[in-house]
Structure 1
Amino acid sequence: MAPHPHEPPRGLSPGPWRTLLQWLRRLGGALLALLILFEEWGWEPLQRALARLGRLPLLRQLEAAITRLPPAAALAVFALPALLLLPVKLLALGLIAHGKRLLGVAVIVAAKLVGTAVVARLFTLTRPALMQLAWFAALYTHWSVWKEALLARVRASWAWRTGRAIKRLARMQWGRWRAGGNTSA
């Protein structure tokens, strides 16, 4: 009979097993929090940048067509960037494997930025259709509640509050410097 998934394997006492699982959960949670914070900070500004591009006549027509898609087609369009970026990410890994680490990392970062911008814009355009899919609406609601709880914990942390205070001070200093005429020529 196989052990329960939360029980330690035979021969391993519960203490170290539990500690390892807690450590892995914390590490996974921290990595996920960093990813969510990146998405949170980048999502809106990148989406707005693409929305400005969407004012171009051809893109305006394409966006209008996307907003009229039925739910299943909207889901396919929303998933498309992930599929299109997969070869780019594989290329980046190949570059890293062949010793071009900096270029590979730069490709991954660029793909993440472009991918986030495109997914953010597509989600804005397809959200009404996607929310008609009961399973998607349920998952999105669950995700939103979980993400907000995580962000609330992050925002309550000492590191976040300190970073916000430093940011406010830097903005005040910048404003004072600009108001002073910044004539250093």
Structure 2
Amino acid sequence: MLKLLIAPLRWLGRLLMAFVILFEEWGWVPLQRFMAWLARWPPLKWLEDRIRALPPKPALVVLALPFLLAIPVKLLAVWLMASGRALLGLLLILSVKFGGTALLARLFHLTQPALMALPWFARLYGRWTAWKQGVLDWLHGTLLWRQARALKRQLKQLFKRWRQQWRAMMHGGASS
């Protein structure tokens, strides 16, 4: 009887984790790319070179910075919401989420080689990536995922046709 109750909860938990992982995955790469673009600015490039050269333990401290810096800002957002400025508080939380994710993605990219020298980190990272891949494999096997992928392909084709029609119309109108 207990298994019958736990199975749907386990499925729901897996689905929620899959959405969290997908959000991080979809945001992680583009945000990290954006931060790499910003790092072409010489002062940031200089800072990144210093971060990349850190030994493992200081690299771990640097990696924790986005989380630590976000705490006071999130508290400010909660205060804003409690003061009747809910939209401003929500915008602040969303800004911190995106900015923090971008910063964390870049810092992880820079510090991962040093962090992998810590045996406990390498072990946990290996477990995390294996678990995450299992959740993603499960998600990719669901009917919902397959339908969403099919819809995405259809929308891309539709957008491509619209863009071709738009270009043809613009070029046709320009030559008249």
TM over 0.5: yes
* CA offsets 1:89-147 (integer angstroms, 9 cap, x no match): 11122222233222222221111111110000000000000000000000000000000
- The SS at the match of 1:69 is coil
Instruction: State the partner residue of 1:77.
Output: 62
Take 2:30 and 2:154, find their aligned partners in 1: how far apart are those partners?
22
Alignment-mate amino acid for residue 116 of structure 2: M
Q: Which of 148, 156, 159 is 1:171 aligned to?
A: 156
Please say which of residues 166-175 and 27-36 is displaced more in the overlay. 27-36
1:142 aligns with 2:127: yes
- The SS at the match of 2:166 is coil
Take 1:23 and 1:90, find their aligned partners in 2: how far apart are those partners?
35
Instruction: State the partner residue of 2:80.
Output: 95
Instruction: State the partner residue of 2:99.
Output: 114
1:37 aligns with 2:32: no
Instruction: State the partner residue of 2:53.
Output: 68
Take 2:12 and 2:148, find their aligned partners in 1: how far apart are those partners?
21
- The SS at the match of 1:180 is helix
Take 1:27 and 1:101, find their aligned partners in 2: how far apart are those partners?
29
Choose between structure 1 and 2 for higher RCO, CA contacts under 8 A separated by at least 6 residues.
2
Please say which of residues 156-165 and 119-128 is displaced more in the overlay. 156-165
Take 2:5 and 2:98, find their aligned partners in 1: how far apart are those partners?
33
Alpha-carbon shift at residue 25 of structure 1 (Å): 4.1
Instruction: State the partner residue of 1:124.
Output: 109
Take 1:93 and 1:33, find their aligned partners in 2: how far apart are those partners?
27
Take 1:87 and 1:23, find their aligned partners in 2: how far apart are those partners?
37
Alpha-carbon shift at residue 18 of structure 1 (Å): 6.1
Alpha-carbon shift at residue 32 of structure 1 (Å): 2.2
Take 1:32 and 1:122, find their aligned partners in 2: how far apart are those partners?
23
Q: Which of 105, 122, 145 is 1:160 aligned to?
A: 145
* TM-score, length basis structure 1: 0.84
Unaligned runs of at least 5 residues, structure 2: none
Please say which of residues 20-29 and 149-158 is displaced more in the overlay. 20-29
Take 1:52 and 1:89, find their aligned partners in 2: how far apart are those partners?
27
Take 1:18 and 1:106, find their aligned partners in 2: how far apart are those partners?
41
Identity of aligned residues (%): 49
* TM-score, length basis structure 2: 0.88
Take 1:149 and 1:119, find their aligned partners in 2: how far apart are those partners?
23
Distance 1:26 1:107, change over 3 A: farther
